[in-house]
Structure 1
Amino acid sequence: MADARIEFLAGSPAALFITGARATGKTTTARRHATTVIQLDNADEAAAIRADPDTALRDLEPPILLDEWQTVPEVLSAVKRAVDLDRIPGRFILSGSVRSARDPSLWPGTGRLLPVTMHPLTVRERVGAIGVEFLERLRDREDIRLPANPPDLRGYVDAALEGGFPEAVLEGEPARRDAWLDGYLRHMVTRDPSTLGVSPDSNRLSRFFGAYALNTSGLATDATLIKAASIDRRTGESYTRLLSDLGVIAELPAWHGNRLARLVKGRKRLVADTGLWAAAVGIDAATVMSSGDLIGRLLETFVINQLRAETALMTRGPQLCHLRVAEGRHEVDLIADFGARGIVAIEIKATNAPDASDARHLLWLRDELGPQFVAGAVLHVGSRKYRLSDSIEAIPICALWA
């Protein structure tokens, strides 16, 4: 999906800015679209760019990939000047570390950088499925197809635990894959923070990420996480920013609408890859299958991450949120807010035959929002698709990659 997005955006004179967690395939993908590749983590190549970036960039044949740009952040100012001076489409591609929007080194790129955010591979990408994104098909009431052989619950658990990091997926053998993910986790808490110029206590950061992982797809408060990790509030806030900048966590905001009252404002916490979640929590498929709570957290995180990756590469895609009414009277796992184009709401259930009771929160939301609610779905682990009520369907999770 990222390749198609890059090809589309290459028609703009603005530079493409490819970001994402480490090992999501940023450099591999970017290289496929570049004629000239400059590795800025190579001391010799970095020295030449740092000495006179304007001249160096002018003499290179486009498209130009500036990989690991964050090691020479001043290159962004040179890219800005080049884009302003000569508006050649698709001239620059930058890839490297995720950086916070608060980082002053990114300011020269405002209006000159088109972001392409890469997530771990989705199942849809792995099986090579193409076509209109699932949420748009659901919103437009288009036919929802299913694979020839839908998985059962254990199949979904196994797929989720593989995660989507390309190198882990390519390992094939589960024990080697798990070893790769364990290594990624260790590297993430000991060495990756240095790429963002910070040096946290690795033991405390590991505890914090472990606590975060245990609460994935939940609304754990900051107080809950910092207590579990035995750290103070300021440290917890800095660790949350750090892990977000590293691309390994995400937070869904609470949805708010004028028609609804007493909505909870807390953010839904998510680990950005379910394979990494398993490494952080220290579990395998057998452990997950023995716990309804773990199954629920894993499936919800897995599904939302599939849709996050999809919407990140859409033009004017929906904002993804969650909804919960105070005291838990109503809760919807995922809201896809298309603005004036309406609301799509999704519940994720570890059942193979959902009924109207599984859709009760969607029915409530549909009745509250009226025409603003355009479609709802209960995504489940069964093999059949069927209508539950007006505008609400039961759909197997595997429709995401059919």
Structure 2
Amino acid sequence: MRYRRRIIDDALDELFPHLAAIALEGAKGVGKTATATQRASTVVNLADDLQRQTVAADVGQVTRVPPPVLVDEWQLEPPVWDRIKRAVDDDLTGGRYLLAGSAGVAPGTRIHSGAGRIVSLTMRPLSFAERAVSTPTVSLRTLLDGHRPEITGTSEVGLPHYVDEILRSGFPGIRHLPEPARHVQLDSYLARIVERELPENGIHVRRPEALTGWLAAYGAATATDASYSTILDAATTGDGDKPARQTVDIYREHLSRLFILDPVPAWLPLFAPLKRLTRTPKHHLVDPALAARLVGVTQDGLLRGEGDRVAARADTGTWLGALFESLVVQSIKVYADGARATVGHLRTKDTNREIDIIVERPDRKLVAIEVKLAGSVSDKDVRHLNWLHDQLGDRVLERVVVTTGPSAYRRKDGVAVVPLALLAP
């Protein structure tokens, strides 16, 4: 298949000629190898047993082959990291090493941090813009510039199409499969995490069914900040032999290490008059298709409002609304990475104020974003955005509502209304 550029390619084009080593990190199947291979003269694949054994016998060989060198699944042989770090210490010439990893190193493994020598970039499944479903017209990077661009454009992408994109997934090797094959592949992906990926990375899973149940409950908590005890209770309803909280914490740690959990942290602003903000993250899997598969609702069922949720409060909306928010979050994380911005969420402890997404520049100026599973936007839908603007003034560069509607426009109060299909990096 012909390679299709990803948003992260722009960062690699800008950085790799000047940096000796870059690590591409992300869940298995997001496209790290395909992207890195575009820039590599030599590929060392440590997922191949023979190559792994050869490198284990002589780790220095990865620095003696023609550069640029891609070391794929480097975490399976952690000494590679330190060997490349030392090679960079000796020679800072750019464009020499790419390391692709679908997990952090196993617990207890000691490696140098790589700070100042190996730069890490996160790669996620295809964002909505990368799926080429429509032609976007409103750039997040431009919104972050603070120039208040004209907000225009129309899209023929409607709610059924968004549901289809949620279920298709952003994994390049899965999304174009026929529906039955796609279901099998997504189920296999989830099973492989429990049965192979965790054990391969040094984690013994004593009760695979308990881990699978917890992962399903976490998926059902998508786009909420439900407590981990609430998620555990949902995973083990009627089970007198529930896993210990310590065991669940280990699940969570290692699923995060495999980049399967991709929560949105709480936004805690510096030098701002906001008080009593929650520190609880919002739960998201790396791709909403995984959450949809774990809960097991069909496209028709989602459109009918079906789907069990795990949440701290009853007023958290529909399961489809949660999955749509997760799709928006996953895309905005990709766009924000490209703009060197960070992503968080805001909620006050009394739950009176909530904003789904805060995209913040390094200078602490931000774009505040609400997500709405609807085509129209009312004054009620923007009240939290306008409250934040009242609190922080010019620090809030833009207020945005991302919708499933047909048109992008700016409201009289200055809030930008942008369908997801029209939102660009």
Question: Which of 228, 231, 256 is equivalent to 2:234?
Answer: 228
Distance in 2 separating the partners of 1:45 and 1:128: 39
Q: How does 1:64-143 map to 2 (within 5 A)?
A: 64-99=69-104, 104-127=109-132, 134-139=139-144, 140=146, 141-143=148-150
Secondary structure at 2:267 match in 1:
coil
Question: Which of 364, 368, 385 is equivalent to 1:345?
Answer: 368
Distance in 2 separating the partners of 1:128 and 1:32: 24
> In structure 1, what residue type is equivalent to 2:379?
A
Question: Are 2:281 and 1:275 equivalent residues in the alignment?
Answer: no
- For the Cα contact (< 8 Å) 2:335–2:424, is it kept in 1? no
> In structure 2, what residue type is equivalent to 1:40?
L
Q: How does 1:179-198 map to 2 (within 5 A)?
A: 179-198=184-203
> In structure 1, what residue type is equivalent to 2:322?
R
Distance in 2 separating the partners of 1:34 and 1:125: 23
Q: Could you tell which deviates more after superposition, 135-144 or 91-100?
A: 135-144
1:336-395 per-position Cα deviation (integer Å, ceiling 9, x unaligned): 122425121111111211121110111111111112111101111111223234431222
- For the Cα contact (< 8 Å) 2:400–2:415, is it kept in 1? yes
Distance in 2 separating the partners of 1:357 and 1:138: 23
Question: Are 2:66 and 1:52 equivalent residues in the alignment?
Answer: no
Return closer, same or farther for 1:128/1:52 CA change in 2, 3 Å cut-off.
farther
Return closer, same or farther for 1:41/1:254 CA change in 2, 3 Å cut-off.
closer
Distance in 1 separating the partners of 2:303 and 2:249: 33
Question: Are 2:16 and 1:5 equivalent residues in the alignment?
Answer: no
Distance in 2 separating the partners of 1:334 and 1:112: 32
> In structure 2, what residue type is equivalent to 1:360?
R
Return closer, same or farther for 1:295/1:45 CA change in 2, 3 Å cut-off.
closer
> In structure 1, what residue type is equivalent to 2:350?
E
- For the Cα contact (< 8 Å) 1:355–1:388, is it kept in 2? no
1:4-28 per-position Cα deviation (integer Å, ceiling 9, x unaligned): 2222221124311111101111112
Distance in 2 separating the partners of 1:301 and 1:70: 28
- For the Cα contact (< 8 Å) 1:137–1:144, is it kept in 2? no
- For the Cα contact (< 8 Å) 2:74–2:101, is it kept in 1? yes
Q: How does 1:183-222 map to 2 (within 5 A)?
A: 183-200=188-205, 201-222=207-228
Report the equivalent of 1:382: 405
- For the Cα contact (< 8 Å) 1:6–1:116, is it kept in 2? no
Question: Which of 164, 168, 173 is equivalent to 2:174?
Answer: 168
Distance in 1 separating the partners of 2:363 and 2:99: 33
Distance in 2 separating the partners of 1:145 and 1:261: 36
Question: Are 2:337 and 1:312 equivalent residues in the alignment?
Answer: yes
Distance in 1 separating the partners of 2:49 and 2:406: 54
Report the equivalent of 1:393: 416
Secondary structure at 2:87 match in 1:
helix
Percent identity over the alignment?
32
Question: Are 2:49 and 1:24 equivalent residues in the alignment?
Answer: no
> In structure 2, what residue type is equivalent to 1:394?
V
Return closer, same or farther for 1:133/1:396 CA change in 2, 3 Å cut-off.
closer
Report the equivalent of 1:370: 393
Question: Which of 322, 333, 353 is equivalent to 2:345?
Answer: 322
After superposition, the CA RMSD in angstroms is 2.3
Mark the runs of 5 or more structure 1 residues left unpaired by the alignment: none
> In structure 2, what residue type is equivalent to 1:217?
A
The alpha carbon displacement at 1:246 in A equals 1.3
Give the TM-score normalised by structure 2: 0.87
Distance in 1 separating the partners of 2:63 and 2:164: 49
The alpha carbon displacement at 1:130 in A equals 9.3
The alpha carbon displacement at 1:221 in A equals 0.4
The alpha carbon displacement at 1:401 in A equals 4.3
Report the equivalent of 2:255: 243
Distance in 2 separating the partners of 1:43 and 1:156: 40
Mark the runs of 5 or more structure 2 residues left unpaired by the alignment: 1-6, 236-241, 306-316
> In structure 2, what residue type is equivalent to 1:9?
L
Return closer, same or farther for 1:23/1:133 CA change in 2, 3 Å cut-off.
farther
Secondary structure at 1:223 match in 2:
helix
Secondary structure at 2:119 match in 1:
strand
- For the Cα contact (< 8 Å) 1:225–1:236, is it kept in 2? no
1:302-321 per-position Cα deviation (integer Å, ceiling 9, x unaligned): 1000011222344xx22211
Distance in 1 separating the partners of 2:180 and 2:424: 26
Distance in 2 separating the partners of 1:144 and 1:83: 45
Return closer, same or farther for 1:129/1:394 CA change in 2, 3 Å cut-off.
closer
- How many residue pairs end up in the alignment? 397
Distance in 1 separating the partners of 2:105 and 2:273: 34
- For the Cα contact (< 8 Å) 1:185–1:279, is it kept in 2? no
